[in-house]
Structure 1
Amino acid sequence: MLIAQVARWAREIPRAPAYTFVDHLGDGSRATLTWSGADLKARAPAVRLRELAGPGDRVAVLAPQGLDYVVAMLGAMYARLVAVPLFAPGLPGHAERLAGAYADADPLVVLTTTAALPGVTEFLATVQAPKHVLTLDTVSDLLADEWEPDPARPGDLAYLQYTSGSTRTPAGVEITHANLTANATQLWEMFRAEPRTSVAALWLPLFHDMGLIATVAMPMMGGNLAAFMDPVAFVMRPVRWLRLLSEFRDVFTGGPNFAYEYTAARVSPAELVGLDLSGVRVMLNGAEPVRPGAIEAFDAAFAGCGLRPEAHTPADGLAEATVFVAATARDERPVVTAFSRDALRDGRAVPAASGPLSRTSR
């Protein structure tokens, strides 16, 4: 199973970096977990979680974006519990989503951090409180010595992924360890990533399926590095995303369509200085309808920074499929086809010859 790869890399490449968080909302510092550190940090809370819950019990993650979130997911899966990736209370516009998903999951344990604890405590006073609240940063690493492996089985639930809620109330999708392993493998093969070489550089929220798989799961495939930041840091200054990409010679990334439009519109000419996007191999565009205009605007804005048009990779996915379903092949330029609106209304995809068009990228 994929989760077993963490311990494997801890043995084989213990000092290699696994996860790096860039704290733009704090002092701008970076914190990194090596593969040995990731394994150690996962085993410690897993020992504690086994004291509080049993296999199959649900553990909600109500933590900010950062390394503690990664540790929470790894620790829960080490302990063969069912992780529920949510987020710390206070995320603007998401209060109803958090309350609904939390109530539906009905977790036995909540994992959070000391910094987020006041907000979590206030939130839990309004819902059915869990039996246990565990602050990850207060769990002693010494507990890791008490860890006794209990490998997950393919059919065991790894986590509940709540859907985006774009068409209905968010629903929890049961993701097994086999699902997680298969989907990460499919995405890895599509990216044609190089073990221990390719890097993921992302800002996507870890509670979202796209961010969770690309940031937490993908590096486990080949002992790679994931460098990531808070989504709010991206929204405040989208050039931060591009600067992170510029640091690596073999890097893949992704985001919803709006991110490409937003970045092209917000990055100033002065901020282009020093950007080198020639190392970007894949820029996944998914989670929203892919607009050809967004790709064109992004290309026009950053072609002078070495960005290859072939890096754009329109994709489709959904939580019910873990995340990844389909994408254009790596190094294949997106194809844009115009279809008849009238035919689309009838459920038919007919290339348009004339008249009003709908442009869809695939």
Structure 2
Amino acid sequence: MRIAFYGSSLLSAYWNGAATYYRGIVRALAARGHEVTFYEPDAFDRQSHRDIDPPEWARVVVYPATEHGVAAVVAAAGEADVVVKASGVGVFDDELLAGVTAFARPDALTVFWDVDAPATLAEIRHAPDHPLRRALPGLDLVLTYGGGAPVTSAYQALGARACVPIYNALDPSTHFPVPPDPRFSADLGFLGNRLPDREERVARFFLAASARLPDRRFLLGGSGWDDRAVPPNVAKIGHVGTADHNAFNATPLAVLNIARDSMATTGFSPATRVFEAAGADACLITDAWEGIEMFLAPGEEVLVARDGRDVAEILAGLDRERAAMIGAAAGRRIRAAHTYDRRAAEVETVLAGALAARRAGAEA
């Protein structure tokens, strides 16, 4: 299949949490024989912060973040067998959605791929005139980064013909165990950009734990934290490029995953960070959210905390031997059951089902 994919960025993870997800899915689809063209805007200074070169496994088209630039790339949707508009492109999202669906061939599948379903649903649920909500009945399929039954039922109630979660996963070729790196030496590391619906949870889980353990070293990575007050035992290291993610995950005694408010409330939404950490055989501590056992076994492959007190207690009782056992178990589980190769096979099955449903409807 020829797939036209309109998303935020494949080339840059800078202020772009979906980059690892996009790369894993697109690379795996290409390995299965599909031709993917990824269209991304020159926006948010991402092109000057590229962390990969244009890959061999996808054609990447970078277009100006202008009305003219959008008009030029949406016309290319007519060349594809499957046309994907992702959420959160960040510029001209409504125009992209309208354009690609207008230019898609009558026999092509049209897909909305939501990488932040809880936020999208909150935006459109009480807005009957929202462009996406109006477009849903005409789209063949909605795919989501996560969310499980709460998300699929919500989308179908809003008019989607079908909604299927395609969860985050691991690309073993990019995320894997590496030797410790002294730059990231710490008892607990957390990596995440500063966002409005994440900051309070970072304070509650990460900073509160650091305040309870003043003799331990904590590492805070990600953009936007420069002016945030933190305890003296927290080192802020700013943006960490994807090339350093394995070392960041493999070096501390443990690493922490903190879901954003909306993801934690919805559940069934493991972040890319969960799979990246497991891929590096890191000992992962995560905040509690419904559905985690679908991916990792609490107490054996991941440690679960309800708040900063729990994080501090877990860390205080954790030694290198147990941390290594938990990290190795997580790595085995994720590499066996949750890779992007498996997700790409799921995508193929879903697309085949959508095509079959369309043909059945045409024959009825």
Report the TM-score when normalising by structure 1.
0.28
Report the TM-score when normalising by structure 2.
0.28
